[in-house]
C-alpha cells in the first residue's frame, strides 16, 4: 500500500469542498486539459500563482498526485480555507516557515525519491534554504531523483520556473537545467505533467517553454518577454491571432489572462475567479499584517517521515551541511523517529511471520535425516532436520543437497515473486505488485525485497512494468493459480487494498461497464465525495490501475468486467 497524505482521519477535512455553491467557475478549461502541460506567464503580481492555485484546487479535488516547487513560500495557504477559519486541503508542506517537515539543501534526492514513490500532494517550499546556490543544489538532486524514480502520473508545478531552467544556464549548474529538461521534454512516459510559471518567458529555456500544450498569458509588458511568447505561438498556434494577443497583454489587469489551448481549439480572455483556499501570496498593504489562518488541514506525518527517512538512507553520500546544522539536527531527530516507525513496522512483520511459523510447526512433523538426530545450526556441517508439512511427500534434506533456486531470498522478495508468478505473464507496476503481495510500498521491507529480486535476475522491467523472468518463475516454484474470474479477481484485490478502496471497487464493479460519477458512487456508499479519506480511496484504485477514469467519473478496470 502506498502512503497517502490524505489517508489519515482528519477533523473537518473536506468541509472546504462540501458547499457546491462555492465551487469556482472552471474558466473554460475542461478537466481533461488539466493533464496537459501548462505554462503561465506574466509580470510580477499579475496573478499567475493565484490562477495556478485555482487549477491546483481542481486537481486536488480529483485525487491527483501533485508536487509544487515553491521558491517564494507562497503555496502553503492551500492548507486553509479562504478566510482561514476552516481547514483546506491536506497538502504536506516540506520546508519553509509553515513546514510540516523541515528540509535542508542536502535533502533533494531523498525527497525526490520519496515523492516519486508515494501518493502525495505536497508543497516543496524552498524559501528558507538560505542562498540561491543552496536552492539550486537541492533542485538538481531533487529533479534527478524524481525523474529516475517516478512511474505514475504526477503534476509537477514549478513556480518561478526560470530559476531552474534559465535560457542561459549559470556556470556549474548545467546539470540542473538538464534534469528539468528531461522532466519537461521526455518525462511524459514517466508520468510527468509539468506546469511552468514564470515572470520572464524571455529568460526561461526555450526548449522547456516550447513544450507547453496550453499557454496562459497574464499581463506582460516587457517586449523581450512578449517576443519569447512569439516563439511558442510560431510553433503551436496561429500567428495573426498571436500578434493581436501579444499586443493586448500590457493592458491586462491583475487576475486577467488569455487562455490558449490550440490543440483543443480553445482561446479566450478570462478573469480568474477567487480561489477557495487561503491567499498566501497576497501583497500586504503598507502597515497591514496578514492574518494567519486559525485552522490548517491536518496531515498524517508518521508514514511520510518514515518514507523520507527510508529514501534518505538509500543515499550514503548525504553530507552534513555545516551552514544548515540546525535544520540538519531537526532532520536527524525526525529521521530517528522515522527509524523507530520503520523498526516497529518490521517488528510487526516479524511477529506475524513468527506466528505463521508457529502455526506451521504445530501441524508439522519433524523428519529425522540421520541417526542420531542432531539439529544443526546454520553454517555448521552435519546432518540437518527440516520441518515438512505432513501432506507433502517426505524428502530428506541434508547439507549436501543443493539449495533450491529462490531459497534464501528476502521474505518480502519471496512474497513479491509469488504474487508476480501467480499472475504471470501479466505485468504490473511495483505498486501493484506490492499490493498483491500484501506489502507496504513505502516500507524498507518492500525495498529490500525488490532489491533482492533485481539482484537475482528474477524480474524483468519494461516501461515501469515488472514480470518474472524464467529464472524467477523457476525460483517461485509452485504457486496457487491466479483467480480466473472477474469475481475472484475482485475478491483478491479487495482483500489486499486499504479502506475505503475495497468498498468503492465493489460498488463500481456492481455497475459493470457503466461510468458513474463521484456523487453517485458516494451516494451508493453513503459517503461524501470529498475529503482525505475519499481522495485516498480513489487515488489507491487509480494508481493500482483498478479503475478507469473520465474526469470525476469512474468504472472498474477491464479485469473486473471481462
Ligand X SMILES: Nc1ncnc2c1ncn2[C@@H]1O[C@H](COP(=O)(O)OP(=O)(O)OP(=O)(O)O)[C@@H](O)[C@H]1O
Contact residues: ligand X, CB under 6 A: 42, 44-50, 199, 254-255, 272, 274, 279, 281-283
Nearer to Mg ion, 62 or 280 (CB): 280
Q: Which does residue 337 bind out of ligand X, Mg ion, none, counting CB within 5 to 8 angstroms by kind?
A: none
Nearer to Mg ion, 85 or 283 (CB): 283
Sorted by sequence, the CB contacts under 8 Å of residue 105 that are 6+ apart come out as: 129, 130, 134, 135, 137, 138, 321, 324
CA distances from 138 to 190, 224, 241 (A): 21, 30, 40
Nearer to ligand X, 135 or 410 (CB): 135
Contact of 76 with 274, CB cutoff 8 Å: no
Nearer to ligand X, 270 or 364 (CB): 270
**Shortest approach of Mg ion to residue 25 CB, angstroms?**
22
**Shortest approach of ligand X to residue 285 CB, angstroms?**
11
**430 phi, psi to nearest 5 deg:** -60, -35
Nearer to ligand X, 49 or 543 (CB): 49
Nearer to Mg ion, 49 or 62 (CB): 49
Query: Which residues inside 18-77 make contact with Mg ion, applying CB under 5 A?
Result: 49
**Shortest approach of Mg ion to residue 74 CB, angstroms?**
6
For CA atoms 8, 13, 18, 22, the dihedral sign is: negative
**Shortest approach of ligand X to residue 293 CB, angstroms?**
14
**Shortest approach of Mg ion to residue 84 CB, angstroms?**
20
**49 phi, psi to nearest 5 deg:** -60, -40
Q: Which does residue 283 bind out of Mg ion, ligand X, none, counting CB within 5 to 8 angstroms by kind?
A: ligand X
Task: Write down the residue that cell numbers 538538481 correspond to.
Answer: 140
Q: Which does residue 274 bind out of Mg ion, ligand X, none, counting CB within 5 to 8 angstroms by kind?
A: ligand X
Q: Which does residue 318 bind out of ligand X, Mg ion, none, counting CB within 5 to 8 angstroms by kind?
A: none
Query: Which residues inside 469-528 make contact with Mg ion, applying CB under 5 A?
Result: none
Q: Which does residue 498 bind out of ligand X, Mg ion, none, counting CB within 5 to 8 angstroms by kind?
A: none
Nine-digit cell at 164?
Answer: 531552474
For 527-552, the DSSP string reads S-S-HHHHHHHHHHHHHTT-EEEETT
* 447 scored as a contact of Mg ion (CB under 5 A): no
Beta strand residue intervals within 249-378, DSSP E? 256-261, 266-271, 365-367
Query: How many residues sit in the footprint of Mg ion (CB under 5 A)?
Result: 1
Nearer to ligand X, 118 or 198 (CB): 198
Nine-digit cell at 79?
Answer: 492548507
Contact of 87 with 80, CB cutoff 8 Å: yes
* 118 scored as a contact of Mg ion (CB under 5 A): no
Q: Which helix (H) or strand (E) holds 66?
A: strand 66-70
Half-sphere exposure of 543 (CA within 13 A, CB side): 33
Count, residues in the chain = 562
Start-to-end CA distance of the chain, whole Å, equals 25
Task: Write down the residue that cell numbers 513556480 correspond to.
Answer: 159
Nearer to ligand X, 246 or 437 (CB): 246
Contact of 164 with 143, CB cutoff 8 Å: yes
Cis bond upstream, residue 372 (ω within 30): yes
In the chain, how many H helices and how many E strands?
18, 16
DSSP state of 249: G
Nine-digit cell at 55?
Answer: 487549477
Q: Which does residue 45 bind out of ligand X, Mg ion, none, counting CB within 5 to 8 angstroms by kind?
A: ligand X
Count Cβ atoms within 10 A of the Cβ of residue 528 and give its class: 0-12 exposed, 13-18 middle, 19 or more buried.
Answer: middle
Sorted by sequence, the CB contacts under 8 Å of residue 438 that are 6+ apart come out as: 415, 496
Q: Which does residue 102 bind out of ligand X, Mg ion, none, counting CB within 5 to 8 angstroms by kind?
A: none
Nearer to ligand X, 144 or 160 (CB): 160
**Shortest approach of ligand X to residue 246 CB, angstroms?**
18
* Distance, CA of 123 to CA of 69 (rounded, Å): 6
**Shortest approach of ligand X to residue 258 CB, angstroms?**
14
Q: Which does residue 272 bind out of ligand X, Mg ion, none, counting CB within 5 to 8 angstroms by kind?
A: ligand X
Q: Which does residue 50 bind out of ligand X, Mg ion, none, counting CB within 5 to 8 angstroms by kind?
A: ligand X
Contact of 122 with 96, CB cutoff 8 Å: no
**Shortest approach of ligand X to residue 281 CB, angstroms?**
3
**Shortest approach of ligand X to residue 56 CB, angstroms?**
12
Contact of 308 with 108, CB cutoff 8 Å: no
Contact of 197 with 50, CB cutoff 8 Å: no
Nearer to ligand X, 284 or 372 (CB): 284
Q: Which does residue 153 bind out of ligand X, Mg ion, none, counting CB within 5 to 8 angstroms by kind?
A: none
DSSP state of 408: T
Sorted by sequence, the CB contacts under 8 Å of residue 244 that are 6+ apart come out as: none
* Distance, CA of 198 to CA of 232 (rounded, Å): 14
**Residue nearest Mg ion, CB atom distance:** 49
**Shortest approach of Mg ion to residue 247 CB, angstroms?**
24
**Shortest approach of ligand X to residue 50 CB, angstroms?**
3
Nearer to ligand X, 278 or 560 (CB): 278
Q: Which does residue 255 bind out of Mg ion, ligand X, none, counting CB within 5 to 8 angstroms by kind?
A: ligand X
Nearer to Mg ion, 162 or 300 (CB): 162
Q: Which does residue 279 bind out of ligand X, Mg ion, none, counting CB within 5 to 8 angstroms by kind?
A: ligand X
Nine-digit cell at 373?
Answer: 538426530
Nearer to ligand X, 100 or 159 (CB): 159
Task: Write down the residue that cell numbers 511477529 correspond to.
Answer: 351
Q: Which does residue 47 bind out of ligand X, Mg ion, none, counting CB within 5 to 8 angstroms by kind?
A: ligand X
**Shortest approach of Mg ion to residue 16 CB, angstroms?**
22
**Shortest approach of Mg ion to residue 289 CB, angstroms?**
21
Which chain residues interact with Mg ion by CB under 5 A?
49
Amino acid at each position: 500500500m502506498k502512503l497517502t497524505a490524505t489517508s489519515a482521519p482528519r477533523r473537518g477535512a473536506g468541509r472546504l469542498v462540501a458547499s457546491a455553491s462555492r465551487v469556482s467557475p472552471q474558466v473554460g478549461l475542461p478537466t481533461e486539459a488539466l493533464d496537459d502541460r501548462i505554462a503561465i506567464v506574466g509580470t510580477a503580481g499579475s496573478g499567475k500563482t493565484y490562477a495556478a492555485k485555482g487549477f491546483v484546487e481542481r486537481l486536488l479535488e480529483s485525487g491527483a498526485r501533485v508536487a509544487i516547487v515553491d521558491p517564494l513560500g507562497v503555496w502553503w495557504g492551500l492548507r486553509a480555507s479562504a478566510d482561514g477559519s476552516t481547514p483546506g486541503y491536506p497538502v504536506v508542506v516540506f520546508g519553509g516557515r509553515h513546514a510540516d517537515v523541515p528540509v535542508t539543501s542536502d535533502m533533494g534526492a531523498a525527497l525526490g525519491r520519496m515523492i516519486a514513490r508515494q501518493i502525495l500532494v505536497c508543497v516543496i517550499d524552498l524559501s528558507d534554504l538560505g542562498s540561491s546556490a543552496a536552492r539550486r543544489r537541492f533542485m538538481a538532486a531533487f529533479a534527478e531523483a524524481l525523474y529516475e524514480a517516478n512511474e505514475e502520473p504526477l503534476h509537477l508545478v514549478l513556480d518561478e520556473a526560470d530559476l531552474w531552467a534559465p535560457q542561459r544556464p549559470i556556470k556549474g549548474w548545467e546539470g540542473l537545467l538538464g534534469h528539468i529538461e528531461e522532466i519537461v521534454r521526455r518525462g511524459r512516459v514517466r508520468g510527468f505533467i509539468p506546469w511552468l510559471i514564470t515572470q520572464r518567458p524571455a529568460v526561461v529555456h526555450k526548449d522547456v517553454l516550447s513544450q507547453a500544450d496550453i499557454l496562459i498569458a497574464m499581463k506582460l509588458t516587457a517586449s523581450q518577454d512578449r517576443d519569447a511568447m512569439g516563439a511558442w505561438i510560431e510553433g503551436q498556434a496561429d500567428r495573426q491571432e498571436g500578434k493581436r494577443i501579444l499586443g493586448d497583454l500590457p493592458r491586462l489587469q491583475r487576475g486577467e489572462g488569455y487562455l490558449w489551448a490550440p490543440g483543443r481549439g480553445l482561446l479566450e480572455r478570462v478573469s480568474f475567479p477567487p480561489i477557495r483556499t487561503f491567499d498566501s501570496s497576497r501583497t500586504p498593504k503598507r502597515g497591514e499584517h496578514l492574518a494567519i489562518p486559525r485552522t490548517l488541514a491536518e496531515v498524517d506525518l508518521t508514514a511520510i517521515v518514515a518514507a523520507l527517512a527510508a529514501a534518505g538512507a538509500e543515499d550514503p553520500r548525504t553530507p552534513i551541511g555545516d551552514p544548515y546544522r540546525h535544520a540538519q539536527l531537526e532532520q536527524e531527530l525526525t529521521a530517528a523517529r522515522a527509524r523507530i516507525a520503520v523498526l516497529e513496522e518490521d517488528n510487526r512483520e516479524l511477529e506475524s511471520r513468527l506466528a505463521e511459523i508457529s502455526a506451521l510447526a504445530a501441524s508439522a512433523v519433524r523428519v529425522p535425516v540421520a541417526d542420531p538426530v542432531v539439529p544443526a545450526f546454520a553454517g555448521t556441517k552435519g546432518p540437518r532436520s527440516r520441518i515438512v508439512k505432513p501432506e507433502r511427500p517426505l524428502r530428506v534434506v541434508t547439507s549436501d543437497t543443493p539449495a533450491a533456486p529462490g531459497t534464501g531470498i528476502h521474505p518480502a522478495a519471496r512474497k513479491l515473486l509469488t504474487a508476480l508468478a501467480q499472475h504471470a505473464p501479466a505485468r504490473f507496476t511495483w505498486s501493484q505488485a506490492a499490493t498483491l503481495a500484501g506489502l507496504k510500498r513505502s516500507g524498507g521491507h518492500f525495498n529490500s525485497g525488490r532489491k533482492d529480486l533485481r539482484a537475482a535476475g528474477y524480474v524483468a522491467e519494461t516501461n515501469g512494468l515488472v514480470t518474472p523472468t524464467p529464472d524467477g518463475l523457476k525460483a517461485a516454484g509452485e504457486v496457487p493459480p491466479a483467480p480466473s474470474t472477474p469475481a475472484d479477481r475482485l475478491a483478491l484485490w479487495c482483500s489486499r487494498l486499504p479502506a475505503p478502496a475495497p468498498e468503492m471497487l465493489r460498488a463500481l464493479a456492481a455497475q459493470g461497464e457503466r461510468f458513474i460519477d463521484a456523487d453517485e458512487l458516494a451516494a451508493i456508499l453513503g459517503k461524501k465525495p470529498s475529503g482525505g479519506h475519499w481522495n485516498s480511496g480513489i487515488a489507491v484504485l487509480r494508481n493500482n490501475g483498478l479503475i478507469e477514469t473520465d474526469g470525476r467519473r469512474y468504472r472498474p478496470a477491464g479485469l473486473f468486467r471481462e
